[in-house]
Structure 1
Amino acid sequence: MGLFDKLFGSTTKDSKTKLRDQFKDEKYFKNEIIRFTEIINDLSAQPNLTAFNYWSISSKFQRIISLRFSAGSPVSELVKDYGPALDNYVKGWEEKEATYADILLMISLGILFEISTEDFNRLVTYMEKTDNNKQLDNWRPDSLLWFLLNSRAKTENKGEGILFPPVYQPLYEITRLPKEEAEKAAADYMNNWYKMHKDDPWFNAHLKDRGYGGYWAWEVAAVVKVMGLDDSSFKDHPYYPYDMVHWKD
């Protein structure tokens, strides 16, 4: 089996899927996956890895998950990349650093992949350490993060508001609505999702020759999964990872 086969699976009936991304082709995603795999190998071979090194390795595994999903890989084949992403992520915890987007992504993927209780509890511990870290001046327990964590952990922590309200307050408000209203609000949120992220570093990344992994609203999918919403009205939205919600259906 060649390198491409290892990355994308064999050509069996079960592994044949179409490209999910609208901007790049299969060749682009293959090349990017190879590039990030090589970066992971180089980083992992370094002696005396620092917390930043572990975080960086985790971020590359996160990117590979997005790349492979964009390229059309079955979700069941992506789960194996989450394990090393999580292992390195928890090793990369630092007292003076906390990145909301990374934490939200790891929690959302953990929910979508239906990871084990043991692994999910590692996310809870990571979040508790971050919330209790006195060196983070502008950090406080976030209500959206804890809504997602409490879908399985059932802690007493409800959060103290939303850290980035322009983007995530509307999503959190969806979690407080009755199902039918939440389904309509989720569809509306998806219609505004991309432009709400105009200040994110990945915005318009598809215009570049490399570095683009796909635009996927993982956190919206996680909320849909937790709430058991009917997402049929926006299943074909180009930024909604429908297959991640329904891969075990």
Structure 2
Amino acid sequence: MIRDSRRDKAYWDEWTTFLEDSIRKAWERLKQPPGDPNYRPQYVFELANDHYELMLRRYSRGDPVSELSQYFPGLLKAWEESERLGKDVWSDEIQYTRHAWAVNIDHYVRCFWLTGLALTLDIPDEQWQRLLALMGNEGEDALLDRVIASRQPGRPIGDKLCFPKAYQRLLDVVEAPAGQRPQLLRNYLDSWFSSLKNAGSPSFPKDYRTPYWWDFCTDEAVGMKGGYFGCWCIEAVAVAKALTIDDSLCLDHPNYPGDLIQDDRGPRYTDPTLSLESNTKRIEPSRAATQPRSRSWLSRFLLGSDK
């Protein structure tokens, strides 16, 4: 049974298979000489993104949580290769906007999600250390640094939030007495999605201050093109895992991926009621491959599209 009833089983099967195929083909293409060496680092980085999106698609489809960690090695390999190639391509300014949590909300959320997945899936320490090296930003955020420190004692903790509009309520959970945390975590979940709208740095153009996947959750026409991989607040489950919070109040929330902590606790659906209008036509994978899919700030702003 599926975990996300906003799409039916056919959708999850179709687009999970499509992304698995895309990842396989991308690795094959990387064995060939690059067509444009200047784009190669970003192409490989998007391949890393594909791996975590595949984890979330499979989670949404209802697959066993125990099968999700198999994608971490490929994700880390692609990200590391992207960084290696990017040293010779990206300017100092682009390097900063790619990596700095303080300005790049896409990257901050990505790192938060990967931290949450790493903690809940209990990835091996060798992979954890590689992930930390890729994320960097030690001492830059009062919230995410604390979550990371739950597995990495001694990590410097930032003294401010990078994105207070979106994450002050979650920091309040962390700083509250233990007995208040369960209810505060539920309260945060209720505001999580709306709080991310325009929550990014004012140094970015307005169109790039909201995480790239946000429209996939709100715009059915966009989401049904295959971009939608679920609408999961991994930040909340990361905090619950890091602080051992009783999350029973959150388990019925449609955005809470509670099965990541322990499988088969959250709701499952056999006959989903889709919010999509019945006359909306699904785009086939062969056509969807030509549809633009906005991803990271860099690809959206500098490159204009993905692959």
Instruction: Report the TM-score range of the alignment, normalised by the length of the smaller protein.
Output: 0.7 to 0.9
- Tell me the equivalent position of 1:3: none
Structure 2 Cα separation of the partners of residues 230 and 127 of structure 1? 28
Q: Evaluate the alpha carbon distance shift between residue 156 and residue 23 of structure 1 in structure 2; reply closer, same or farther with a 3 A threshold.
A: closer
User: Equivalent of 1:76, from 66, 72, 78?
Assistant: 66
For residue 108 of structure 1, report the CA deviation from its aligned partner: 1.4
Structure 1 Cα separation of the partners of residues 48 and 250 of structure 2? 30
Structure 2 Cα separation of the partners of residues 109 and 222 of structure 1? 8
Matched residue SS, 1:246: coil
1:71-110 to structure 2, matched below 5 A, reads 71-93=61-83, 95-96=95-96, 97-98=98-99, 99-110=107-118
Q: Which runs of 4+ in 1 moved over 4 A?
A: none
In the alignment, is the contact (CA less than 8 A) between 1:55 and 1:88 conserved in 2?
Answer: yes
User: Equivalent of 1:225, from 229, 241, 244?
Assistant: 241
For residue 101 of structure 1, report the CA deviation from its aligned partner: 1.8
In the alignment, is the contact (CA less than 8 A) between 1:22 and 1:238 conserved in 2?
Answer: no
Matched residue SS, 2:143: helix
- Tell me the equivalent position of 1:116: 124
Give the aligned CA root-mean-square deviation in angstroms: 2.1
Structure 2 Cα separation of the partners of residues 52 and 236 of structure 1? 38
Matched residue SS, 1:143: coil
- Tell me the equivalent position of 1:137: none
TM-score (norm 2): 0.67
- Tell me the equivalent position of 1:200: 211
Structure 1 Cα separation of the partners of residues 176 and 259 of structure 2? 24
TM-score (norm 1): 0.82
In the alignment, is the contact (CA less than 8 A) between 1:65 and 1:82 conserved in 2?
Answer: no
- Tell me the equivalent position of 2:263: 247
Structure 1 residue runs of 5 or longer lacking an equivalent are 1-17, 132-139
Cα deviation code 1:133-191 (max 9, x no counterpart): xxxxxxx7122221121111112411231111111122122111121111110010111
Q: Evaluate the alpha carbon distance shift between residue 161 and residue 248 of structure 1 in structure 2; reply closer, same or farther with a 3 A threshold.
A: farther
Larger-Rg structure: 2
Structure 2 residue runs of 5 or longer lacking an equivalent are 35-39, 87-94, 100-106, 198-209, 266-307
For residue 48 of structure 1, report the CA deviation from its aligned partner: 5.1
1:112-151 to structure 2, matched below 5 A, reads 112-128=120-136, 130=137, 141-151=140-150
Q: Evaluate the alpha carbon distance shift between residue 121 and residue 32 of structure 1 in structure 2; reply closer, same or farther with a 3 A threshold.
A: same
Q: Evaluate the alpha carbon distance shift between residue 23 and residue 86 of structure 1 in structure 2; reply closer, same or farther with a 3 A threshold.
A: same
In the alignment, is the contact (CA less than 8 A) between 2:141 and 2:158 conserved in 1?
Answer: yes
Structure 2 Cα separation of the partners of residues 24 and 167 of structure 1? 26
Paired residue total:
223
